[in-house]
Structure 1
Amino acid sequence: MCLFGACQSSSPSSRAGSTPLQKPSQTYATQHVILVVIDGVRYSDSWGDSTFSNIPNMARYLAPQGVFNPQFYNQGVTLTNPGHVALTTGYHQKIKNNGDELPRFPSVFHYYRQHTGAPATDAWVVTSKDKLEVLARTYSSDSAAAFAPSVNSGIKGLGTGYRDDTTTIRVAKQVLSRHQPKLMLINLREPDSEAHAGNWNGYLKAIRQSDRLVADLWKWLQKQPQYQNNTTLLITNDHGRHTGKNFESHGDNCEGCRHISLLALGPDLKRGKTVTQPRSQADVAATIAELLGFPIPKRDGEPMTELFQEHVHLGE
């Protein structure tokens, strides 16, 4: 586990980089971006339920402060590691799901550090699942690969097992307080774990806990002078679950596995609005890069500017 340092890339490249860059179109008020991935929540058990019984805080407290897209999908492999890699690299990679394979390309964290010269402690991957430590590394020989983020995953890193989501949020807050990073990913694993165990009530309870944790995180951020009114929070999923009663698993092309959600809050984003342009996980990395003002190679995604307010230039 790399609690206050970086894990560097050490593997060979897959594809050389003459990929055109997507460059920021303007300057934004956002200074920090936090991406929260709630693992394995089926849309019909969250936003697709008109009562919002499992996500009351997100639906009734957070959504009025931000913008929601109900047409958000995993268009790649509907498993944990591929879903997270799509979110962070903007590329739908058929990566192994057990932590034995690294992402093919550098992530938004790598490119942020490369283009800003920021230290490793300015970009963090904080995850309940230990296997997601691979998000901090890459097989690529692109020059950005040398700019790995700091990582804190599982009990003590790759191969040590999963930890509770409450611990992950506590660690994330400690990192946010100590290092004031500009970019962070947080993975909450318990809905997925409870579903895989066949525990329907535990799965719903874990969704409700995740709902409370993200609402508490937003409230906490707004009480911190260094984050208040300058932080964008993106809340999404890596994948859903099979449709119907077969909720225990996921991994195919069914609507339940592919249909996820995106809720975004921040100083440059619309408030109390819903946008319906179909989007995928690959659009998230480009959106983060747009908000934080650095270029990123154009792959499968593009900035989701429909989420933004019409006049978001600084000083306007």
Structure 2
Amino acid sequence: MKKLFAIITTLAVVSVSSCSDPKDVGPATPYENGYKTKNVVLLVVDGPRISETWEDSTKQHIPNRVRLLKDGVFISNFMNNGTTNTNPGHSALCSGVYEDIANDGTELPGYPSVMQQWLKYTGADKTKAWIVASKDKLEVLNNCKLADWNGKYQPSADCGTDGNGSDYRSDVITMNQVKNVMKRYSPNILVINLKDVDDRGHNKDSIGYINAIKATDKSITELWDYIQALGEYKDKTTLIVSNDHGRHTAGTRRNAYTSHGDACKGCRHIEFFALGPDFKKNTIINTNNYEQIDVASTIAELLQFPLQYAKGKVIKDAFN
């Protein structure tokens, strides 16, 4: 535990005022010869509460992230300012637009994701953009309602089902699929959903909920190590870790961790943790200037393509 505190105390802390216009969606200034990032992996950890991860003073459940932070950047008060449920949260991360879409997978997002827009812009094969998820209902992320985009430029998808009749599968299966996809297809954009934390919370399994947070933390290190072991990814890939939503704050609620979906701080306060060749290292950013819809614009900035519909801004303070 002392090692964790030692690492934390050596971090650079960046405080940024929130005076910038939230409509400022202009790109960050790129390096003279462009960004080093050629691939972006967005890992969405479904539904942990920030008080059990980064805001726990001991950081006891996320030791791997604490160690990785020497090479990464964390935003301390990153927020979901939209609907705090799974499908709306994932849609906001991928499209840069808050929408209150159905949470059961029966409704497509209204606007194209970064994956669709990147595929159109580059003309790349659909195997170069993927959504790999533990929940089958997230397959809707590979399409949208908008007429000019519906059924077009769709990324590849591998979502849910465990082969035994369930629409969900364990995160272990999903992570194995992620590695298979990366090794076989080398996608430039990869969105991953890990559901076990959310699942254990809804099942009122307090021990399982904490163990799932720990297991996800280990998976993040394994994924980063895997990225560095592949020639197509090493030193040219940015990994962004975030959440679709948090969970209710404890307060007066009994078993608050079991659910989510309203505007309480616990549901809105989510994670932004990232590592990559164009991002700061050993840095914690303290600002209330960034939110969930900013992730899509940041991915587009790193890969240098335009987003037509996104309402977010580039997370400029994370860049070198």
Which of 120, 124, 128 matches 2:126?
A: 120
1:216-231 aligned within 5 A: 216-231=222-237
Normalised TM-score (structure 2)? 0.87
**1:220 deviation in Å?**
1.3
Which residue does 2:104 correspond to in 1? 98
In the other structure, the counterpart of 1:5 is none
Report the equivalent of 1:40.
Answer: 47
2:61 corresponds in structure 1 to 54
Instruction: Quote the residue 2:6 is aligned against.
Output: none
Contact 2:28-2:316 within 8 A present in 1 as well: no
**Residues 202-258 of structure 1, C-alpha deviation per residue, up to 9 Å, x if partnerless?**
000000000000111101111112111000000011101011141111000101101
For 1:234, which of 234, 240, 251 is the aligned residue?
Answer: 240
- CA distance in structure 1 between the partners assigned to 2:247 and 2:161 by the alignment: 25
- Between stretches 189-198 and 243-252, larger displacement belongs to 243-252
The 8 Å contact of residues 21 and 295 in structure 1, kept in 2 or not, is answered as: no
> What secondary structure sits across from 1:275 in the alignment?
strand
Do the aligned residues in 1 keep the contact of 2:28 with 2:314 (CA within 8 Å)? Answer: no
The one-letter amino acid of 1:31's match is K
Whole-angstrom distance in 2 between the partners of 1:21 and 1:306: 13
Give the structure-1-normalised TM-score. Answer: 0.88
Whether the 8 Å contact between 1:23 and 1:296 is mirrored in structure 2 is no
Give the CA deviation at 1:160.
5.2
Of 6, 29, 39 in structure 1, the residue corresponding to residue 36 of structure 2 is: 29
Asked if the contact 2:27/2:314 (under 8 Å) is kept, the reply is: no
1:277 paired residue number:
287
Match of 2:274 among 252, 264, 278: 264
Partner of 1:288: 299
Give distance in 2, aligned partners of 1:156 and 1:198: 22
- Native 8 Å contact 1:36 1:186 kept in 2: yes
Question: What is the root-mean-square deviation in Å for CA atoms of aligned residues?
Answer: 1.8
Q: What code does the residue aligned with 2:202 have?
A: H
For 1:15, the equivalent position in structure 2 comes to none
Secondary structure at the counterpart of residue 98 of structure 2? coil
Q: Identify which of 248, 257, 265 aligns with 1:247.
A: 257
Structure 1 residue 83: Cα displacement: 0.3
Output the CA distance in 1 between the equivalents of 2:219 and 2:27: 33
> Does the C-alpha gap of structure 1 residues 156 and 193 become closer, same or farther in structure 2, counting only changes over 3 Å?
closer
> Aligned equivalents of 2:310 and 2:241: distance in 1?
22
Q: Does 1:303 align with 2:276?
A: no
| Equivalent residues, number | 288
- The answer to whether the Cα contact below 8 Å between 2:83 and 2:98 also exists between their aligned partners in 1 is yes
Displacement of 1:145? 5.6
> 1:138-186: per-residue Cα shift (whole Å, max 9, x none)?
11113486101000000179x9510010110110110000011100000
Render the CA deviation track for 1:12-57: whole Å, top value 9, x for unaligned. Answer: xxxxxxxx99667532000110000000000001000011111110
Q: Using a 3 Å threshold, how does the CA distance of structure 1 residues 194 and 293 change in structure 2: closer, same or farther?
A: same
Is 1:130–1:160's contact at 8 Å kept on the other side of the alignment? no
Contact 2:44/2:194 (8 A) holds in 1: yes
Q: Is the 8 A contact 1:106 1:142 kept in 2?
A: no
Q: Residue 233 of structure 1 aligns to which amino acid in structure 2? A: L
Q: 1:198 to 1:160 in 2, by over 3 A?
A: closer
Pair 1:133-2:144 in alignment: no
Q: Which amino acid aligns with 2:307?
A: I
Match of 1:185 in 2: 191
User: Is the 8 Å Cα contact of residues 78 and 252 (structure 1) preserved in structure 2?
Assistant: yes
1:170 maps to what in 2?
176
In the alignment, residue 39 of structure 1 is paired with which amino acid? D
The alpha-carbon deviation at position 62 of structure 1 amounts to 1.3
Cα pair 1:34 1:231 within 8 Å, conserved: yes
Q: Taking every aligned residue pair, what percent have the same amino acid on both sides? A: 43
How far 1:71 sits from its partner (Å)?
Answer: 1.1
Aligned counterparts of 2:144 and 2:286: Cα–Cα separation in 1: 33
1:285-314, CA deviations, whole angstroms, 9 ceiling, x for partnerless residues? Answer: 0000000010002532011111000xxxxx
Amino acid at match of 1:254: C
| Alignment-mate amino acid for residue 256 of structure 1 | G
